[in-house]
Structure formats: structure tokens, C-alpha cells
Amino acid sequence: MDILKCIIVEDEPLAAEIIADYVSSVPFLELKASFTNPVEALHWLMQNPTDVIFLDINMPKIKGNEFITAAKGDFQYIITTAYQEFAVDSYQWGVVDYLLKPVDFARFMIAVGKLKTKNNVSPAPLLPSKQDNKLYQYFNVNKNYVKICVNDILYIESVKDYLKIVTINQSITTKAKMSDLEPMYKLNQIIRIHRSFMINLNHIVSFNHNEIFIANQSFPIGRQYKDAVNKVLGDLV
């Protein structure tokens, strides 16, 4: 598989750290550099081969469209910004995708799955193995970004407009929807078993046709999920 060399151009250190952490979880991406100053990034691009640029669209010195015009090269751009109103304009610049801050890992993986390799083929967005502790996601908890190891998640509970995420070491509550996490988390053995619950198959203690037990707690298998869940559970035996 072709490895895509990428850089981050982002004037917010925390946002840059989150993107860098996500990049480290993707086998076909290699982070070469990260810049808070877009002028320094432009100078670096003149001397170093680069395939992908994660670009903040609203920086003090140079705006996103100005950076793309100045860079000139045949780069693939994934835009990151806190301003949703810039989405339409960014697509007119030929960017691959547009990520709204705080960037969600599942949404990040969808974006990088659209990238093209040197053979013009979209790479499969592979996740690390279950033993790889580099797979993290940041969640907004009272305006602080809390880092969660996805492999440590025991279960996720939907409570109205919020999600309660319980791991081996902690429990957090963040404003999000189950559907935001479900597609990508399924690849990491976290599946939906009920309208209100997702569970991590790796932490199951016991189960039957109606419920699953994790950490001394039982979780019901919803009627509409029963056939699919019991098939997955059957494959574990």
C-alpha cells in the first residue's frame, strides 16, 4: 500500500495535537511535519515531497484559500475549522473533505478514506489491531477535550442528546449521537445491541440470547438488533 506523506498546518496547538494523534492511527499516513505558521509551511513544501495537507481554513496570517493558491503543488487537502459556513467555499477549491472542530475520529477516518494513492486508488481506512493502544479519540466534556483509548471502552449508553462512555478507568458524558460512532467503532469490535447501548465485544464476561454481561452489569439485546447480535455472539463461541 502506498504511504501518503502529510503535514498539518494549524495555529491551535491542541487541534494540531488531535489531528497528529489521529494520523498516527492510520497505517497509510505518515506525518512529516506540523506547523503553526503557514508561511513556514509554504517554505517547507518547496523543499519536501508531500501528498496530504491538513489545513486550518481560518488562520491569522493566511486564509485557507490563499494558502492553497500560494502552495500551487498537486496536494490533497483536508480542511479543518471551527466555522461551518466555510464548507461550501472550501469544496470549490477542490479539497478532499471538510472537518468541523472538534474533529471526531470516526469522521476523520471517513475523510482520509477519500484520499487517493499515487495509483489514484482510495486506500482502505484500516484501523490498528485491538492490541494497539494508539487508537484514541478526544471527546468534548464541559469544553475540555478528554482523551479516550477506544480499546478500553466497556460500553456506551445513549441518554437523550448525550452519550455516557464508560471505560476501564473512567466514565465521561459528551454531547453526541450513537450514529456518529457506530460505523467506525464496529471495526474495532464495539457494536450496537440496543437503541441505547453499544458494547465492546472484547470485554464480554458472559452472554445469553437476551442479554450481555460486562463488568458485573447486564445489557439487554434489543428486539430489532437480536438476530444480528446473536450471529456475532455465535461467532465468538
Per-residue cell: 182:
457506530
pLDDT in single tens digits along all 237 residues of the chain: 578 999 999 989 888 999 998 998 888 899 999 999 999 999 999 999 999 999 998 887 788 888 988 998 889 999 988 776 555 555 567 788 888 888 888 788 888 888 887 666 666 554 444 444 447 788 888 878 888 888 899 999 999 889 999 999 999 999 888 887 877 677 678 999 999 999 999 999 999 989 999 988 999 999 999 999 988 888 777
Check residue 170 and give its pLDDT. 92
Measured N-to-C along each axis, helices 105-112 and 178-185 cross at an angle, to the nearest 10 degrees, of: 50
- d(CA 24, CA 13) in angstroms, rounded, equals 16
Is this structure's pTM higher than 0.75? no
Whole-angstrom CA distances from 126 to 34, 129, 185, 199 are 23, 9, 12, 21
Taking the domains of the chain in order of start, what are their residue ranges? 4-112, 139-236
4-112 has which CATH code?
A: 3.40.50.2300
CATH 3.40.50.720 fits 139-236, yes or no: no
